[in-house]
Amino acid sequence: MLSLFKYLQTSQFLGGETLKQLMFMLTVEHGFPHQPSALAFDPKLQLMAIGTKSGAIKIYGAPGVEFTGLHNDTTAVTQIHFLPGQGRLLSLLDDNTIHLWELVAGPLREVGGVKKEGVVSLQEVNTYNLPGRPGIESCSATRVTVLLLLKSCDLLCVGTEGGGVYFLEVYRCGIMDNVCFHFPSLPDDYRCGKSLGPVEALQEHPQQSGKILIGYSRGLVVLWDLSIRHAEQLFLGKQQLESLVWERSGNLFVCSHNDGGYSVWAVTSGSTCNHQPVSSTIPYGPFPCKAISKILWRTTQAGSPVLLYSGGMPRASYGDRHCLTIQQDKDHVTLDFTSRVIDFFTVHSVDINPLSPPSAVVVLLEEELVVIDLQTPGWPSMPTPYLAPLHSSAITCSCHISSVPPKLWERLVNAGKAQQSRQHTHRSWPICGGKNLAPPPKQQELLLTGHEDGTVRFWDASGVALTPLYKLSTANVFHTDCDPSDDPQDPSNDPDMQQEEEEWPPFRKVGCFDPYSDDPRLGIQKISLCKYSNKLVVAGTAGQVIVLGLSDERSDHLVDVSVVDLLYDREGFTWKGHDRLEPRSKPAPFPPGFQPLVVVQCLPPASVTAVALHAEWNLIAFGTSHGFGLFDYHRRNAVLARCTLHPNDSLAMEGPLSRVKSLKKSLRQSFRRIRKSRVSGKKRTITTPTSKVRDSEQEEVAPVQRRIEPRSADDSLSGVVRCVCFADTFLRDGTHHGPTLWAGTNSGSVYAYALEVPGVGSGRVCERGGASESSVCVEAVLGKEIQLMHRAPVVSICVLDGRGKPLPDPYEASQDLAIAPDMTNAHSVLIASEEQLKVFSLPKVSAKTKFKLTAHEGCRVRKVAMVVFSSTAQEDYSEHTLVCLTNLGDMHLFSIPALRPQVRYDCIRKEDISGIASCVFTRNGQGFYLISPSEYERFSLSAKVLTEPLCFVQLDRPLEPTPTRSGHTHTHTHTHTHTHTHTHTHFFLLPFSPFFFFLLSLILPLHHSLFFL
């Protein structure tokens, strides 16, 4: 009866309530888009768009306002153009297709029980293929080089490689013009065969609409009047053209050149052919300079214009720098970036005063977004509220903390502000389009990322925009190779610190992308934070485990250092890897925030592979490839050091560096192979075809084989400690519970120690009577050793209470922050290995339930987490579930403690090893994994907890896409693309297309386009 009831209850819950809605959903991407390739800005809507090489388009406005679109093909987006104020944009892809995107009202969404109206999303509306002209010219002739959308937004000018400029009508059924110039009087220098060479730039006259400036690659610039289809003026530049920009009045324009110079031309009516610019400058001359790829000329009310241009560096001395120059009067700054400049634009104050000076310049670099405040003297940089460069140093690990207590949050925010105040301006973020409709987060969430340079960055992960809160550097605990006087806090990020270089050009380092680590040993491997006691444990590549406490005051102190030798009882082993880091012998200054208390250094200094913190007992546990240790940071003494090495394991002693060596060796070999093949390739031209065949046969790869052999105890790296955890449970008998430490290794061994912590587990102390008073130290006694017979690596250990729920975190129960664990019924321990999930009873370790995942599915467990799924219908109902991510990238959910499989989702591509390795789960069913070195994908398994962009943009046009229209558009597009490859009949279809879209046809009779000057 009871079991039936139980069954009903469970099934009801699982079937009807949560799990039906429980779904895997990718919600938002955090961080900086990988390989950005295009940038655009809509000054009316204050929206910025970024296109990437993988065909993604992302629109950003005010913090929290984000739209994402993905082209069907993963082709690089080369250009993006907004139709200002319309919430539409055009994208040009590398495959010569133009796509029209539109912000449309999405379907009604129910989020967290609240219906959201007016949520806007980005959708692709139309696609246009630009075909080559069959027979006449090669396809490259119609390859689009530049797009210009006229201010009226109804005409799109398309410049091509072949020198033709095409005009596409955007709104009405489009008949388009094709302009091909023939200037008999032109010198041959400006010709490229029959045509004029690639169109490099198109700019519309700022005052007189219908006049456009066409710049050709060879230096020729033509002022073209659209209305009378007549070339008004010619400007015969001497240098290869890179870009064009109008002065606001339309009396001047500036063009930048391939030789690192720019010239200013006057547009005076009358003269049809200009040979000389007003002025011509090579700012970083006289030695040869690189091209100025883009130039902007912005007039200000004050008088002297602001000139911004990218590139133009002296080729020999600074040819490798990525620079943007800002020039106004005598102010001249050369911003020196660490990655390539993709594009940049200026933002003007929102009231569209034609003379308003630029308030900021937004620079899109390959690895980050930099915004410079142009209104504050000194042009400081602005912190970005989104597009955080997560990868400013490579991410090595991550850790998520949910429901952060407000006090800790506030202190972190303050510590972060103290760091930023020196660096940034406090002006508000200039890009402020759209409205964030997402409800304010119910709780604060922290994402901690560990980096290769020894920093831990704290990110506000509560909302859609991942914003930096605070940065902790652990490098200053140690002596490193870098200059000790150099502030290790932030060498690159601080403009105050730059040496005032007297040299020319006046460089200023901007941005925080710094992929080079001073010392790879500083890299962070594991992080653990106790959010109630504000204790943080950070463990790194050289066996360092640092315990830090939060402090609001700056402090100069010496950090205690302890060394724990994990091989103290073993002989015959010598570590061949890197040395341990040398701790500072003098007191070092530590800024407000997390300040180190104790440093534990493992010997041998192998990378720390597991760490656990129990702040209530003042204990930390850590594991490396050699063993694990237990340290009492309150009394500053090592309690336990246990070696897990198998005597035959020689690889464990190599250390990562020797593996680097072998990598080097293999690189060298592969280079040799390449060289060899080059040589043999030359030979091959002489050899006979038969020998060639033999060669190819030899190169044919042997079929991939896999050895089938059970794991044995002496497999290499079997001693690697994969997980450590603390639990207050029953280890020795069923009546007394007390602190325990659990550790699992790569070879399926689990060690359980009973801990004697003074003041904790009083029952035990009483039993021992007088002995306990004398023992003021924490003691550890081996309680159990479990050897899993399948010997698969132990991924996770979790102790479950009498109700089968995971034990709460330290302080949670004692401070009434969580339901107290059931200590009256028997506990159990869940051991997750790569192959099996198994629940054992405690204290007598006997198997209760298990699930052999690998035997059934052929996949191996990579990540395991205990997740609480809350019910959307019942406020107070929640259920614990075990989530497993496997090496195939799928997620399996299991009930606890029955280990019944519930659902399975395909999540990450199985080839994406770093994505799978980087995955972290939150307590409430969300998670993060890296989709590129710089981007976290956030996903949700929970119906209740979703963090996704919900935004609205105020537009003049109706936001709802009418179904008939889109349907029609679709069919028509289909016809269009279908027919154009065969015949030109599609041309006759054009007049019937009734609604908004633009159509293009490049195959038009030439009578429209022949013009003679």
Partner 1 sequence: MNKNHRVPSSRSLNAVEVKSKFGAEFRRFSLERSKPGRFDEFYGLLQHVHRIPNVELLVGYADVHGDLLPINNDDNYHKAISTANPLLRLFLQRKEEADHGTFGTDSLTRKKNTVLSAVLLRPDHNKKKPPVIISLPKDFRPVSSIIDVDILPETHRRVRLYKHGQEKPLGFYIRDGSSVRVTPQGLEKVPGIFISRLVPGGLAESTGLLAVNDEVLEVNGIEVAGKSLDQVTDMMIANSHNLIITVKPANQRNNIVRSGVGGGGGAASGSSGRSSDSGASYYGYSSHSAAASIPPHIIQNFPVGELESDEDEEDLVIEAGGEAEPIRHVASNHSMSSLPRYEPHLNLRTATTPSPDRAMERGSLEEDGTVITL
CB atoms closer than 10 angstroms to residue 959? 17
Each residue 449-488 as x (binds partner 1 by CB under 8 A) or -, in order, gives ----------------------------------------
Instruction: List Cβ<8 Å contacts ≥24 apart for 375-381.
Output: 375/427, 376/425, 376/427, 379/326, 379/331, 379/333, 380/423, 380/424, 380/425, 380/495, 381/423, 381/424, 381/425, 381/495, 381/510, 381/511
Query: Least Å distance between CB 617 and partner 1?
Result: 16
Query: Least Å distance between CB 965 and partner 1?
Result: 43
- Closer CB to partner 1, 90 or 619, in the complex: 619
- Closer CB to partner 1, 329 or 714, in the complex: 714
Pick from 910, 942, 980: nearest CA to 18:
942
Each residue 15-34 as x (binds partner 1 by CB under 8 A) or -, in order, gives --------------------
Task: Report 624-643 residues binding partner 1 (CB under 8 A).
Answer: 639-642
Query: Least Å distance between CB 335 and partner 1?
Result: 48
Task: Report 881-910 residues binding partner 1 (CB under 8 A).
Answer: 887-888
- Closer CB to partner 1, 389 or 744, in the complex: 744
Q: Which stretch binds partner 1 (CB under 8 A): 266-274, 382-390, 800-808, 855-863?
A: 855-863
Pick from 687, 730, 987: nearest CA to 842:
730
Letter string b/e over residues 809-840, b meaning 16 or more CB atoms within 10 A of that residue's CB: bbbbbeeeeeeebeeeebbbbbbbbbbbbbbb
The answer to whether residue 794 forms part of the interface with partner 1 (CB under 8 A) is no
The binder of partner 1 chosen from 21, 854, 966, 979 (CB under 8 A): 854
Is residue 476 within 8 A of residue 483, CB to CB? The reply is no
Encoded tokens for 720: 């690697």
- 3-class secondary-structure state, position 410: helix
CA distance 411 to 592: 9
- Closer CB to partner 1, 366 or 779, in the complex: 779
Peptide bond into 591 cis (omega under 30): no
Angle between helices 689-699 and 655-684 (to 10 degrees): 160
- Closer CB to partner 1, 196 or 630, in the complex: 630
The binder of partner 1 chosen from 485, 685, 688, 705 (CB under 8 A): 705
Sign of the dihedral through C-alpha 771, 773, 775, 781: positive
Pick from 323, 471, 310, 321: nearest CA to 388:
471
The answer to whether residue 710 forms part of the interface with partner 1 (CB under 8 A) is yes
Ordered DSSP codes for 207-227: SSTTEEEEEETTSEEEEEETT
Burial class (CB in 10 A: 0-12, 13-18, 19+), 707: exposed
Q: Rounding to the nearest 10 degrees, give the CA dihedral for residues 224, 228, 232, 236.
A: 40
CA distance 702 to 793: 30
Task: Report 919-978 residues binding partner 1 (CB under 8 A).
Answer: none
The answer to whether residue 711 forms part of the interface with partner 1 (CB under 8 A) is yes
- Closer CB to partner 1, 419 or 618, in the complex: 618
The answer to whether residue 501 forms part of the interface with partner 1 (CB under 8 A) is no
Pick from 162, 168, 157, 154: nearest CA to 181:
162
Query: Least Å distance between CB 804 and partner 1?
Result: 20
Ordered DSSP codes for 905-952: EE-S-TT-HHHHHT-EE-TTSEEEEEEETTEEEEEE--SS------EE
Query: Least Å distance between CB 845 and partner 1?
Result: 4
Query: Least Å distance between CB 704 and partner 1?
Result: 6
- Closer CB to partner 1, 708 or 776, in the complex: 708
- Closer CB to partner 1, 292 or 645, in the complex: 645
DSSP state letter for 259: T
Q: Kindly list the distances between the CA atom of residue 717 and the CA atoms of 120, 211, 615, 625, 628, in Å, as whole numbers in the listed order.
A: 52, 72, 30, 7, 14
Q: Which stretch binds partner 1 (CB under 8 A): 63-71, 395-403, 426-434, 857-865?
A: 857-865
Sign of the dihedral through C-alpha 169, 174, 177, 178: positive
Q: Kindly list the distances between the CA atom of residue 616 and the CA atoms of 34, 59, 625, 804, 815, in Å, as whole numbers in the listed order.
A: 42, 46, 27, 23, 11
Query: Least Å distance between CB 298 and partner 1?
Result: 58
- Closer CB to partner 1, 573 or 987, in the complex: 573
The answer to whether residue 355 forms part of the interface with partner 1 (CB under 8 A) is no
- Closer CB to partner 1, 278 or 855, in the complex: 855
CB atoms closer than 10 angstroms to residue 175? 16
The answer to whether residue 828 forms part of the interface with partner 1 (CB under 8 A) is no
Q: Which stretch binds partner 1 (CB under 8 A): 138-146, 434-442, 492-500, 773-781?
A: 773-781
Q: Which stretch binds partner 1 (CB under 8 A): 197-205, 522-530, 567-575, 600-608?
A: 567-575
CA distance 948 to 811: 31
Q: Which stretch binds partner 1 (CB under 8 A): 432-440, 469-477, 555-563, 753-761?
A: 753-761
The answer to whether residue 836 forms part of the interface with partner 1 (CB under 8 A) is yes
Query: Least Å distance between CB 903 and partner 1?
Result: 19
> How many residues lie near partner 1 (CB under 8 A)?
55
Strands (E), 283-421: 292-300, 303-311, 322-328, 331-337, 341-348, 358-365, 369-373, 381-382, 395-401
H or E element at residue 988: helix 986-989
The answer to whether residue 832 forms part of the interface with partner 1 (CB under 8 A) is no
Q: Kindly list the distances between the CA atom of residue 251 and the CA atoms of 206, 242, 294, in Å, as whole numbers in the listed order.
A: 10, 20, 20
The binder of partner 1 chosen from 674, 819, 855, 873 (CB under 8 A): 855
The answer to whether residue 9 forms part of the interface with partner 1 (CB under 8 A) is no
Query: Least Å distance between CB 942 and partner 1?
Result: 29
Query: Least Å distance between CB 708 and partner 1?
Result: 5
CB atoms closer than 10 angstroms to residue 324? 23
Query: Least Å distance between CB 646 and partner 1?
Result: 6
Q: Rounding to the nearest 10 degrees, give the CA dihedral for residues 463, 464, 470, 475.
A: 130
Q: Which stretch binds partner 1 (CB under 8 A): 197-205, 800-808, 849-857, 868-876?
A: 849-857
CB atoms closer than 10 angstroms to residue 53? 17
The answer to whether residue 860 forms part of the interface with partner 1 (CB under 8 A) is yes
- Closer CB to partner 1, 635 or 673, in the complex: 635
Q: Which stretch binds partner 1 (CB under 8 A): 354-362, 478-486, 837-845, 982-990?
A: 837-845
The answer to whether residue 784 forms part of the interface with partner 1 (CB under 8 A) is yes
The answer to whether residue 572 forms part of the interface with partner 1 (CB under 8 A) is yes
- Closer CB to partner 1, 331 or 785, in the complex: 785
Query: Least Å distance between CB 766 and partner 1?
Result: 14
The answer to whether residue 792 forms part of the interface with partner 1 (CB under 8 A) is yes
Q: Catalog residues that contact partner 1 under the rule CB under 8 A.
A: 569-572, 639-642, 646-647, 703-711, 713, 749, 753-754, 756, 768, 779-790, 792, 835-836, 838, 844-847, 852, 854-860, 887-888
